[in-house]
Amino acid sequence: MPPRPRVLGGGMTSRVVQYRRFGGPEVLEVTEREDPVPGAGQVRLAVRAAAVNPLDWKLRLGAMAKGDAPPEPRVPGFDVAGVVEAVGEGVTAFAVGDEVAGRSTGGAYAEKALADARALVAKPTAVSWETAASLPVVTTTAYRVLDLLGLGEGDHTGTTLVVDGASGGVGVYAVQLAVARGATVVGTAGPAHQEDVRALGATPVVYGDGLVDRVRAVAPQGVDVALETAGKGALRDLVELTGSPDKVITIADYPGSQELGVVFSSGGDPDEEARALTDALARVADGRYRTTAVVTYALDEAGRAQEDNQHGRVSGKLVLVP
């Protein structure tokens, strides 16, 4: 049963995780705030689950800001799943009580959060809250980068794709989607995850020194395009395998992309992301997608969850459950 709302200063309140200054996980605090009011085009969600992503702790560290504190207390988190609790002016796509998943406007580490209606899609009942919250950024990224590599909707039989980091969050879905579209996929991963990659439909190889030779051994027909998701120095090898930086995309190695002339992809069109997430949720609901394991944390464990995510201490997607 969801927690009962509190009353503070005449308005309902709920718990959030926030930080008032940049720094380590110790700057995160759980506090009460008045429930946010949705503006035009927005909805308020009763949050059921919120994913922990690298962007969350990077923002908390202040890596993308000046000074030692945000201008006002900041609540982390974007990927979210929950129940529509209130709708703002002009919202017709959702009604109170609808179960949805997608991206919040920021502030998903909370019992209540705001989201633009266009950034949400219906959550199938067959998909758990935790799994639904784990999907938005990884699945929409996978769809976007495959489109950029020329592997959009359609039959891509005869095309060979290398996915570096195939057992990671984005890699898992990029591999499965490319295979479903007919491509031959070679996936790199650590020794412990070779069979996991094979189960996704790809031919696994171990990443690291000697990668070019190992990929050529399993793909003598050559490599057409490549996706780098891990940020562990494979870009140069992927350019060598494909023969051109124009045939490689990275989502994790910005410095390498600048050095080698590879496209760095970050963010996409909201409408396209909504279509991608809808398709991904449907594939999860009917069993066409294998999902990554989900590890859950309570709100007051947000600091530990971010530390585990940053340092790779836990395999799978990390999700807060208010």
d(CA 307, CA 322) in angstroms, rounded, equals 18
- pTM for the model stands at 0.91
pLDDT tens-place string over residues 279-320: 999 999 999 999 999 999 999 999 999 999 999 898 889 999
50-52-57 Cα angle (round to 5): 135
Cα(142)–Cα(146) distance, integer angstroms: 6
Residue 178 placed within a domain? yes
Across 34-51, average pLDDT: 97
In a domain, residue 278? The reply is no
Higher pLDDT, 77 or 267: 77
118 φ, ψ (degrees, to nearest 5):
-70, -15
Cβ neighbours for 308, distance < 8 A, ≥ 6 positions apart? 295, 314, 318
Asked if 211 and 205 touch (Cβ cutoff 8 Å), the reply is: yes
Residue 180 clears pLDDT 70, i.e. is over it:
yes
Classified as helix, coil or strand, 26 is helix
Residue 112 sits in the same domain as residue 161 = no
pLDDT reported for residue 11: 67
Amino acid at 61: L
Within-domain flag for 286? no
Asked if the structure places residue 277 within a domain, the reply is: no
Give Cβ neighbours of residue 80 (< 8 Å, ≥ 6 apart).
45, 47, 49, 50, 51, 101, 102, 103, 104, 108, 113, 115, 133, 136
C-alpha distances out from residue 82 to 44, 49, 123, 131, 322, Å: 9, 7, 9, 12, 11
Task: Kindly state whether residues 91 and 152 are assigned to the same domain.
Answer: no
- Within a domain: 206: yes
pLDDT at 65: 86
Written as one letter, the residue type at 15 is R
Give pLDDT, residue 4: 47
Please say which residue of 264, 280, 309 terminates a domain. 264
**Same-domain pairing of 201 and 255:** yes
**What does pLDDT average to over the chain?**
94
Question: Does residue 99 sit in the same domain as residue 149?
Answer: no
DSSP-derived letter for residue 2 is P
- DSSP E strands in the chain: the ranges are 6-8, 11-18, 29-34, 42-52, 79-87, 99-103, 112-116, 120-122, 160-164, 184-189, 203-206, 225-228, 248-250, 263-264, 294-297, 317-320
Q: Are 249 and 261 in contact (CB under 8 A)?
A: no
Mean pLDDT value of segment 161-171: 96
Mean pLDDT to the nearest integer, 212-225: 98
In a domain, 269, yes or no: no
Say if residue 145 is in the same domain as residue 131. no
DSSP structure class, residue 198: H
pLDDT at residue number 282: 98
Q: Both 106 and 32 in a single domain?
A: yes
- Regarding whether 172 and 110 lie in a shared domain, the answer is no
Among 43, 150, 27, smallest CA distance to 89 is for 43
Question: How far is 211 from 218, CA to CA, in rounded Å?
Answer: 11
Q: Which of 55, 112, 120, 7 is nearest to 252 (CA)?
A: 55
pLDDT for the residue numbered 8: 38
Distance CA 229, CA 253 (A): 8
Whether residues 107 and 162 fall in one domain: no
On whether residue 105 sits in a domain, the answer given is yes
Domain that holds residue 220: 138-264
Clarify whether residues 197 and 297 are in a common domain. Answer: no
DSSP state of 177: H
> Are residues 129 and 221 both part of a single domain?
no
Least confident of 7-16, 162-171, 282-291: 7-16
Q: What total of structural domains would you count in the chain?
A: 2
The CATH code of the domain that includes 165 is 3.40.50.720
- Indicate if 64 and 173 belong to the same structural domain: no
Question: Is there a single domain that holds both residue 125 and residue 154?
Answer: no
**Among 229-233, 237-241, 288-292, which range has the highest average pLDDT?**
237-241
**Domain contains 287:** no
CATH number for 34 = 3.90.180.10
